[in-house]
Amino acid sequence: MIEIDKVNFDGILSSFKKEREGLAYNLKRKLDRAEKWQARFVKLTDAKIEAAAAERLEKIKKLAVASHITIYKLNVGSVNASYHRGDVTMELSGWLQISNEGIVSLDLFTYAPGYQRAVRISVGKRTTITNNILQILMSKT
């Protein structure tokens, strides 16, 4: 007795179709992402952004001094600093970030307990300085 009909030919065919559909779906998604990559790639090849970031770093250094902040150590990913004005002294730590668009931002937090954001300086097309020192001092008293 020949039982060739036990072979699931329809299943084989449908799984083949599904595999192809799955592959096509994945490729479409990748190609959609490629458009974003292209836009990002253009930004990355723009040397102006690098030059601007270097300038902004210098600017942020000056702004920190103007905001009574002394930076002790600047590592990739972490900053140790202190705030000193009159008889107020506060030890701070945080990070300095440069985004791919060249926006430079310095975030400084108080130590434990609390880890409150004390100062944020961001230099992009606009410059913003947020100083919460007074608020932190008020909440302590």
Name the site residues for other proteins (rule: CB under 8 A). 1-4, 6-9, 11-13, 15-17, 20, 23-24, 27-28, 30-31, 34, 37-38, 40-41, 44-45, 49-50, 53-54, 57-58, 61, 71-76, 96, 98, 100
Query: 35 — alpha (psi -120 to 50), left (phi > 0) or beta?
Result: alpha
The DSSP letter of residue 103 is -
CB of 112 to other proteins, least distance (A): 25
Q: Which strand (E) or helix (H) includes residue 13?
A: helix 9-44
CB of 87 to other proteins, least distance (A): 25
Nearest Cα to Cα of residue 86 among 99, 68, 102, 73? 68
Nearer to other proteins, 124 or 136 (CB): 124
Q: Which strand (E) or helix (H) includes residue 106?
A: strand 104-110
CB of 141 to other proteins, least distance (A): 33
